[in-house]
Homo-oligomer: A and B are copies of this chain.
Amino acid sequence: MVSIKDIAKRAGVSISTVSYALNGNDKVTKETAAKILQAAEELNYVPHAAARLLKTKKSNMIGIFLTDFEGNFYGNLLQGVKEYVSSKGYDLLVCSGPQSRRLISERMIDGAIILDATFSDEELLQYANNGHKAVVLDRELQHPHINQVLLDNKAGATLAIEHLIEQGHDNIYAVSGPAGSYDALQRLRAVHQAIERVPGLTFTVLPGDFTKSSGEAAAQRIAAEYTRPAAVFCLNDEMAIGVYRYIRTHTDLVIGKHIHLVGFDNTELAQFIEPRLTTIDYSMPKWGALASEQLIKMLGGEPVENERIYVTLVQGASVTAATGT
């Protein structure tokens, strides 16, 4: 592998001159610089990132940590992150799994974006204490080196429940999320608040874990005890899809008539399914872009405030007005 030493030899100068020339330092004359650049070109020199990192302590890479690679849930988020960070001269590494965390502690990346419930708060705080910067998308964590960019789960869940109530529904189910999920917890809490505001509702919480199959299980339960139209708020679209699948294949009930359904995330599938799923929408790319903006500001030592991503309700035919009582 060719190093600056080789190119120094070929250009007949010292390695420091090469380094200067390569980094565009104007201490070196145009002629020698040209000579050096040419030599570098001829040898097709590429710098060794590790060596530079060792010295400069800056990798110009940022990492985003996801629970897994499944679903196209994250595609737009990643796109948002990538575009922003590369406009700032950073590279993006997408990471998943416990092993890849060494990228943080071993200083391969300059900062991290976390959307991965398998990180514990303690672990993250530990990294922060060791000087690593991060922005978290899935929890609240107070630390000078940690910034938050969170979904407005409360608003979303409230919109969902209020929409069902406005449509005249009074037999309401919520399908919850996995135990460790911050988003699920926030949403469920808001659901309870919205429900309690209106007297006379029948309300049931069914367990769920954000997977299709848990949606199916919930649908089975709902179908089994069906006596009158039910309104179901699944805490994410994935589970709502599970409900669709079960209701359609195992019952004679009809979504949008007997079962009224609301999801959360506005995934691609939600838009294509028939009838279209009523759900909570927000901008994934914006979420990603904002998160990376915050992170890069932190890396530059700028002060940042915690941010929030706003949500809206998109209506589909999966919810219609209740007919009489």
Residues of A in contact with B (beta carbons under 8 Å apart): 1, 44, 46-51, 53-54, 59, 68-76, 78-79, 82, 86, 91-97, 99-100, 102-103, 105-108, 126, 130-131, 241, 244-245, 268-269, 272-274
Contacts and interface: CB of A to CB of B under 8 A. Distances in A.
Given A68-B79, A76-B70, A97 B106 contact: no
A48 B106 contact: yes
Contact of A54 (B46, B48, B75, B126): B48
Copies in the complex: 2
A91 B100 contact: yes
Nearest to A245: B272
A273 B268 CA distance: 12
Contacts of A75: 68-72
Given A49-B108, A269-B269, 9 more contacts: A44-B130, A46-B130, A48-B54, A49-B106, A69-B76, A69-B79, A70-B72, A93-B95, A244-B272
17 contacts: A1-B107, A44-B130, A47-B106, A48-B54, A48-B106, A49-B102, A50-B50, A50-B107, A50-B108, A54-B54, A69-B75, A69-B76, A70-B72, A72-B73, A91-B103, A244-B272, A269-B272
B49 A107 contact: yes
A256 B66 CA distance: 39
Contacts of A86: 97, 99
Nearest to A274: B274
Contacts of A71: 72, 75
Contacts of A74: 69
